[in-house]
Structure formats: structure tokens, C-alpha cells
Chain A
Amino acid sequence: MINKLVLENLKHRWVRTFLCALVVGVQVMSILTLIGLSRGLLEDSAQRAKGTGADIWLKAGASFSISAAQVNEKFVPFIRKQPHVTKAVGVLIVPLGGAEILTTLNGVDIAEFHALNGGFRMLQGREPTEPNDLIVDEYYAQQHKLHVGQPVELLKHQWNLSGIMQGGTLGRLVVPLRTLQLLTGNAEPARISQILVKLDDPNRTNDEVKILNNLLEGNLTAISYRDFIGQFSISNIPQLQAFIGVMTGMAVVVGFLVVFLAMYTAVLERTREIGILKALGAKPRVIVDILVREAIVLALAGCLIGIVLAFGAKSLIMQLVPASLQVVTVPDWWPIAGAIALGGALLGAIYPGLKAARQDAIEALAYE
């Protein structure tokens, strides 16, 4: 019967109930979209790294980081000469900057890359054969409405879009290495950002990483494919973790405030009804229980709305900016976001609930 009273109360003020659940839903959607974006972007990067087919990555410096720091290209033939190394391909990575700060232009020797992993999976057109040829992946082409054969200006240079490739290999935009080196002042001496290494036996990867790191004495750092992919996780990026923590905290505060206001006004509105329940024998804990159950229903409804909204946000993002932002569905976070919403809602119901429970029955019955 108490559950029926709770539902009837929520139905009675359905606009307030809906708006309250909607705001909780937006809070849930924000969390899910944030996590989906973080994970989507990282998974997308990991997928592109995986798509290169390399067993070992080499980057400049004594420690490994996801950056575009550069190293002399002379290391590439040196690495190729090492035992068990069958292929070594240098890649120059240059951020586009401006509005596309997260997007990079990847310069690679197309023939060498072809030999490393069989080349790019072309959906339209062909791989670059001319110095000014450019290929982009399907997401970049969709977002920028590009067609094969059209000119594309990047880094103040006119490129010819020779083909559109399937996503998930090396980068979104790929051009011939030498052209990019000349264009960005990395030609004399020739510089690259990383070296992709293929071994004759992938089972030797860990041993070869150790050997290469000893050999290179800190000029370059080697990392296995598995460890490199491991870099692309939320737990390896403290700044992202902190950002998610802040956003989650804000979501709890918003949920708390929304439910607090809804419950507080409900208590004021229902003063007489609380008096009636007390006259009928309802103990204070029953009054608190009613408001807590209302808050739980609001949080659960908000959670469902939030999940639906998160699907909508994902669809919108993937339609409008699939190259800039990649979102994945994160069902493992549904219960977490729900618990966050529920926590905020319960916190918001405590004070109004106690206020209602403390109301004097006689005064409440006399309330107009």
C-alpha cells in the first residue's frame, strides 16, 4: 500500500516528477557519455595502433609516452639490422592543430608500411603513390564530407585525396613520409616520431624489448605491442581519472540538489497529508520511508532516461563528429552511474524526510 501511495504521489505531480527524473537522467547521461567518450577515444587509438601489425614500438627518449616527440631517422636502418627484426618502419606524427588539435597527420613510407602489415584496407580509391597524395579513414571522410579526388588543405598544403580507407590502421590521415618531413622542417636531418618493429617470432617480443632497450641506451625506448595498447586505458591517465572524478562529483551534487528541492517542496505541499498519515498511526520512520521510496523511484526513472539519452548522445556524436570524437556504449557503467544517481537522490531525500517525520501531527492537520 505504501508503494501505491508513493507511485500515486509521483503521478499526482507528474510534471515535477518527469522534470526531476529528466535532470537525474541528464546527470546519468553525462557520466555515461563522458566515460563512453574517454573509452571510445582510447580504444580507437589502441585499435589504430593494433592495426599497424607491429610487435614493438620505439619512441624517442628514456621513457615511453603517448606524444609526438621526434628522433633521427638513422635509427630505422640500425634497428632493421638487429637479429630477429624483419621490418622496421619510421612514422612521423604531426598534430593538425587549431580546431583539430586531437587529429594527427601520419607520414609513413607507403611501400615499407605495406610490407609490414599488408597495407591499408581501402574502401575507395587507392593508397598514396604521388608525393601529395593523402588517404583518410571513413570517419574523417564522413565528418568532413570528403570524396576521392578532391583537393584537401592541411598544414597550409594542398593534398590530393587519393583514397578512403577503413578505420583502425595507423591514423585517420596518412601521407607519404618524405613530403611530411619536408613540409614540417623534419627533412634535414630526417626525423620521425616512432619506429614500428616487426619480429620474426612474436613470442620473442618481451626478450627483444629488453635487448633493444639495453642496446639503445636511453636514446629510444622500446615497448611491446601489448604494453603499448595498455597505455590507452583510463587508469593509465591520471588527468583523465581526475576529470572523471570531478564530473562524477558534480553529478552527485546535481542529483542531490534536484531531489532535495523536489522532496522539500513535496513535504511543504503535503504537510496536511503527513498529518493525516500520522493520525492514522504512521511512525516517523514510515514518513521517511515514503519520501526515500519516492527518491529511489525518481533515481531509477532518471537512470533509465539517462541510459536512453546516452544512446541518443552517442548516436548524435557518431553522426556529426565521428573522426573527432569516438563514443562507445559502456553497459558496465550503467549500475555505477545508477548508484551515483541513487546516492545523490538518497542524500537529497534525507533532510526533507526528517523534516516531514518531525512535523507535529496536530499542526500538520491544521495546515491550510
Chain B
Amino acid sequence: MSKNGLRDPEMDRLIIRVRDLRKTYRVGDIDVHALRGVNLEVGRGEFLAVIGPSGSGKSTLFHILGGLAPPTAGEVNIDGVDLLGLAENERTEMRKRKVGFVFQKYNLLPTLTARDNIAIAQSLAGITEQPEDFGETLKTMGIYNRLDHKPRALSGGEQQRVAIARALVNQPAILLADEPTGNLDTANSDAVLGILRQLNKAKGQTILMITHNPEAAAFADRTVTMRDGRIEHA
């Protein structure tokens, strides 16, 4: 839906539409302009990589698209929901179903088993049923037999695959991955990127991956580069 409540036909094709997105942080007495007019469109079922150097605004874009931070100005439309002006509670609701996160540091809850890490994402979203083929997905990801282990008993690669499973369990509209291979060796990186690629191709999962690694970005359908708070090549 558009702001005036009418159906926006463009959003049938797009899952993310960002127009002139600006984000300004206040650090002490200084305004830091992290995003200076970002324009981006991501189609449904697309696998997009966003690359750029440190400080280019990649993580800020990731946080805004995931509803973790509010935009300062501009349009951020995620699967028909404009995030500008949403209250924190509304953004929290949006996160439950529209977005799945994969972080560089896995961010699994250390006191819970892999199975419970996945289950708590469902519980918080108020969902009781797992997707029909979720067991198969877990087998494909190679963690089906590791579900009763706590994160400390899992390798980095296994933890990241559990984190991907957790991100997928609520069938989000988009999967946001922030440097998902940043803490992994080459073999595990390839395995995780291969899984993301397979999820995209086999299930049509929309993925937006932040990375500074061009080799990782090569797994995506399309790559955009960020620099100084703007997208250079869309």
C-alpha cells in the first residue's frame, strides 16, 4: 500500500524500495550523516549484495531495512510497509514476520540449544508451526543432527547455519545478512554462501547481503556499491 492507502502496483514486483533515504546520527554535538540519499530497488526473489568500505553506510542501511533503526527521511518500503514514521513497536512487529537476520557473529543465544534458538524466534513471532519442508532445509544445511547442541558445542560454520535456519523459520519476506562469512574460514564461507544461494534459487528467498568481500558478493545476482552514504552503482 502507498502512503495514501492505495495499492502501489510497483510493489507487486519489488520487495524493497528505498528512495532518497537519509539517516543522521547525533554523536555528542555533531550530526553524523550516515546515509545521504540512498536509492535502491530490490525485486522479489532477488539475491543482492551490497559492498563498500568501512564507514560507507552499509550497516546503517542494514539496520534501517531490518527495522532496527528509524530512517531520518526518505521512503523505505519493505514488502508494502513504509518504515518512515513507524513507531518502535510497529517496527518490532514488522521485524517478526517480514525480516530474518543473519549476523557476522552468529548471535545465537548461548544458553539455548540450536533447536531452541530456532524455536524462540517462532515463539516471539507467535508462530507455532514450522514451514512444511523445514526439516528438509535443516538436512540440506547439514545441521539436522546438531540441533540438540548448544552454540559452544558447534563450529562457527554450524552456528552460522543455525542462525540462517533461525532467520528462515518464520518465512520472512527478506533475509538480511550482515557479513555472514566475516568470521568463517574459506570452506565454511563457501558452504554458508552456497546455502544462501540455494535458498534463493530453490525457494525464491529474497536476500540482501552486506559484505566487504567481492568473492562473497559474487554469489549474489547483483551487486551494488556504497560509498560515503550513497549507492554508487545500482
Which residue numbers of A lie inside 8 Å of B, CB to CB? 1-2, 4-5, 8-9, 11-12, 272-273, 275-283, 286, 361-362, 365
Contacts and interface: CB of A to CB of B under 8 A. Distances in A.
B149 to A, nearest CB: 14
B68 A11 contact: no
Contact of A281 (B95, B107, B109, B112): B95
Contacts of A273: 109-110
Contact of B89 (A1, A283, A361): A283
B124 to A, nearest CB: 5
A8 B117 CA distance: 12
Nearest to A9: B111
B96 A5 contact: no
B32 to A, nearest CB: 14
15 contacts: A1-B119, A2-B123, A5-B112, A5-B116, A275-B107, A278-B68, A279-B101, A280-B96, A280-B101, A281-B124, A282-B124, A283-B89, A362-B69, A365-B68, A365-B103
B109 A276 contact: yes
B180 interface: no
Contacts of A365: 68, 103, 107
B95 A5 contact: no
Interface string B73-102: 000000000000000010011011000010
B123 A276 contact: no
Nearest to A11: B111
Contact of A4 (B92, B107, B112): B112
Main secondary structure of the interface of A (DSSP, over half): helix
Interface residues of B, number: 26
Contacts of A275: 107
Contacts of A282: 92, 124
A286 B124 contact: yes
A362 B111 contact: no
Contacts, number: 65
A2 B125 CA distance: 12
B44 interface: no
Contact of B107 (A5, A12, A276, A286): A276
B218 interface: no
Nearest to B112: A8
B63 interface: yes
B3 to A, nearest CB: 24
A359 to B, nearest CB: 12
B66 A279 contact: yes
A277 B103 contact: no
Contact of B124 (A4, A8, A277): A277
* Most chain A CB within a 10 A radius of its CB, from B96, B121, B122, B124: B124
Given A281-B92, A283-B89, A5 B109 contact: yes
B120 interface: yes
Given A281-B92, A362-B63, A362-B68, A1 B116 contact: yes
B111 A1 contact: no
Interface string B102-140: 010001111110001001111111000000000000000
A272 B101 CA distance: 15
Nearest to B178: A365
A280 B69 contact: no
A5 B96 CA distance: 18
A64 B28 CA distance: 74
Nearest to A273: B109
Contacts of A276: 107-109
B166 to A, nearest CB: 8
Given A12-B111, A277-B120, A280-B96, 4 more contacts: A1-B119, A4-B116, A277-B124, A365-B68
B129 to A, nearest CB: 14
A5 B93 CA distance: 21
Contacts of B107: 272, 275-276, 279, 365
- Considering the complex of A and B, which 9 residue pairs feature the smallest CB-CB distances, nearest first? A281-B96, A1-B123, A8-B111, A12-B111, A281-B95, A281-B124, A276-B107, A280-B121, A280-B124
A12 B92 CA distance: 28
Nearest to B119: A1
Contacts of A1: 116, 119-120, 122-123
A278 B91 CA distance: 11
A281 B112 CA distance: 17
A121 to B, nearest CB: 61
Contacts of B111: 5, 8-9, 11-12
A8 B113 CA distance: 10
A226 B122 CA distance: 65
Contacts of A361: 68
B68 A281 contact: no
